[in-house]
Amino acid sequence: MKTIKGISITKYQISYERSFIPGVRNDGEDLCICAAFHSTAIQCGIVLFTKTVKHLVLFSDEYRTGNLYSLRLKDAAGDYDSYMLYEDGNLLCDPRATRIYGLEKFGAFVREEDLRCGITAKECRIPEPCNLNISYENSLVYLLHVRGYTKSPASGVESSLRGTFKGLTEKIDYIKSLGVTAVELMPIYEMISFDKTPTNGTPKDIEQNKNILYIENGSLRNEKHNSGKLNFWGYKKGWYFAPRSAYSSDKNDPESEVKDMIDAFHKNNIEVILQFYFPTEVSDYLICDCLRYWVSEYHIDGVHLKGQGLPVDAIISDPVLADIKIWYDWFDYGRIGTYAKSRFLNRRLAEYSDNFMFASRRFLKGDDCTLNDFIGSLISNSNEHGTINYVANYEGLRLSDLVSYEHKRNEDNGENNKDGTDNNLSWNCGIEGNTKKTNILRLRKRQMKNILTMLLLSQGTPMIFGGDEFGNSQNGNNNPYCQDNHIGWVDWNMASRNTELTEYVKAIVKLRKDHNMLHCDHPFKLMDYKACGYPDLSYHGQEAWRPDLSNYSHSVGLLYCGLYNPDETDNSFVYVIYNMHWTPIKFALPELPQGLSWQILATTGDARTVTSKSDKKHLEILCEERSCVILISKGTIVKKAVDENVENAKQPF
């Protein structure tokens, strides 16, 4: 906020403008203005800037609708390149500006009063409409930070494009090769890179302008208090209508670069989901207005809402947002309006919680009393909404750190390792941190494959954090919110070192896509409701059909019956064994219909052979300690055998 002094006042021919498109835009010869002010404001207007001149235009009530002013300035287009709002003698940065000047350099501290709001050009391009509408059961989400994903020199992206929207576009072929159907981008709206809250210093120190510590690029420096602290992640209030210019290789036109990026993802059948963080002081109207703008102007496919007390009912009831995916921590279905409830049939909503992460991490460690929670999270599904599952998010340890560290290593954040969660539910496999011991490295890789198997074969929509598929590490830092360096960036050197892990991910993703029973659009009934001789899903143990679900059990086998596939051309049975015990366990294999036989498809251990039990009538397989085995049926079902199963099911008890 800046007080106006010595400003000249210019008169234009002004008329009321019916458009309520936010911001200031060039409409050929005229400027169209739509701006909101505080209800207590006495005098409102706009200050228009050129490189050398600033002109003030005051608004009168004839252009006002409530607290919103909408008007047209005749023959004003082309005379100015930026603007600021004027309210009772002060300059304000328009919260609905579609472009902000002054934030083009990432990590540079800028005062809000030194910014300028951009005027939208008439020739501003709108992306091609593209409604992919990929269902949740057919989706694989890939979460990433636009800057951090390609900023490392090892990314293979040209230096001028690293950390930009265009640099991310160059990685689309790789992302697509993983089987990804949706990229979720951490906040890409405009904001000041630094928080004004210092890492130390009392209010008195700040008032006296004393030197205090702050963090830039991961290192501590002494600067004046107004330098603040670098916010690498970007979960803070900003200018929600403007794309982040620091993420653009073309600093003069970030809008077009974002649209080109979205078009490129759409052409590769990949949806674009944007995260928006709204603190409590952001108005409900601005939130809804912002989301409508990104949907109509950029054609995004969905939003992940972050913040407390958001107007969720209004958002999911908004007609403009009727076709997009909406993700949130939870939805109060009892309070959602009738109009919004009708949208449940389209399964546009998805719950985004830590439930699966906690359950799978505890089971992976081998904790007691975890098996039932794990199974519940693994098969959790809903007819009404989607569920986003993940084992590692931007908060918490990376996947490779999950199996390498038992304690967080956040000293580089400058907060004495007090920040970040202590509830990591991690196990270092015997040695804390980096090691060259072959047996430890082998176990860590197996553990990563184990939990990725759990994730990719869960009934919810899997989400992978970018780089986890090849073991990217943050050196044990579970809260690198201020690390614009090798800690916060994806290390692409690991991609060439861990190709085995990446190829395993691709194989399990393909398995998931090829078999409908591994990604249903409805919950399992756990019963033989088709009278085909098998439930849709059943649990097994060392003896077929007799699982050990006790508190001290660490293993289970799940049989997915292919006879329930809606695609009648695929009747494959899939049997997945999870053994997180520290000893090997022999699992009996359930008998298949006549004509089918078991074949090992994948294993995170070394077991490759199906053997006969002592009675030689049944088969079994040794599932090694801390490993998973996936088997699939091969052959063609003999129809007579199926008919006999059905007839037997109809017989009275």
Quote the Cα angle for 620-621-623, to 5°: 140
Residue 618 lies in a domain: yes
List CB contacts of 4: < 8 A, sequence separation 6 or more: 47, 56, 86, 89, 90, 91
Residue 436 has pLDDT above 60, yes or no: yes
State whether 109 and 15 are in the same domain. yes
Residue 438 counted as domain residue? no
Please enumerate, as own/partner, the contacts of 281-288 that have beta carbons within 8 Å and a separation of 24 or more: 281/237, 282/237, 282/240, 282/307, 284/310, 284/311, 284/314, 286/95, 286/96, 286/240, 287/311, 287/315, 288/314, 288/315, 288/318
Neighbours of 411 (CB within 10 A): 11
pLDDT in tens, 347-405: 899 999 899 999 999 999 999 999 999 999 999 999 889 999 999 999 999 999 999 99
Whether residues 57 and 26 share a domain: the answer is yes
Beta strands in 535-605 (DSSP E): 537-540, 555-560, 574-579, 585-588, 596-603
| d(C-alpha 526, C-alpha 106), whole Å | 53
Q: Which pLDDT score is estimated for 3?
A: 52
Question: What's the CATH number where 55 sits?
Answer: 2.60.40.10
Same domain, 13 and 105: yes
**CA gyration radius, the chain:** 28
**Residue 321 vs residue 638, higher pLDDT:** 321
Q: Are residues 173 and 208 in the same domain?
A: no
Residue 166 within a domain:
yes
Output the pLDDT for position 215.
38
Task: Please report, as a single letter, which amino acid is at residue 82.
Answer: S
Same domain, 629 and 535: yes
State whether 178 and 198 are in the same domain. no
**Residue at 40 is within a domain:** yes
Tens of pLDDT, residue by residue over 467-518, are 999 999 999 999 999 999 999 999 999 999 999 999 999 999 999 999 999 9
What is the mean predicted confidence (pLDDT) over 155-172? 97
Mean pLDDT of the chain: 88
Q: Is residue 531 part of a domain?
A: yes
Q: Judge whether residue 224 has pLDDT over 50.
A: no
Domain membership of residue 310 (yes or no) is yes
Lowest mean pLDDT among 254-258, 364-368, 581-585, 647-651: 647-651
Do 573 and 607 fall into the same domain? Answer: yes
Q: How confident is the model at residue 447 (pLDDT cuts 50, 70, 90)?
A: very high
Q: Are residues 262 and 155 in the same domain?
A: yes
Highest mean pLDDT among 178-192, 319-333, 629-643: 178-192
CATH for 569: 2.60.40.1180
Can you tell me the distance from the alpha carbon of 561 to that of 575, in angstroms, rounded to the nearest whole number?
9
- Which has more pLDDT, 490 or 222? 490
Whether residue 346 is predicted with pLDDT greater than 80 in this model: the reply is no
Q: Which residue has the tokens 């047996």?
A: 439
40-97 tens-digit pLDDT: 778 889 999 988 888 888 888 888 888 889 999 888 888 888 999 998 888 999 999 9
Quote the pTM value. Answer: 0.91
Q: Please give the pLDDT value at position 341.
A: 59
Kind and range of the H or E run holding 36? strand 30-36
How many domains does the chain contain in total?
A: 4
The yes-or-no verdict on residue 205 having pLDDT over 70 is no
What is the per-residue pLDDT for 52?
A: 81
Q: Is the same domain home to 176 and 325?
A: yes
Is the confidence at residue 214, as pLDDT, over 60?
Answer: no
Domain that holds residue 201: 194-230
Task: Examine residue 434 and state whether it is found in any structural domain, yes or no.
Answer: no
Q: Are residues 175 and 300 in the same domain?
A: yes
Write the CATH number for 294: 3.20.20.80
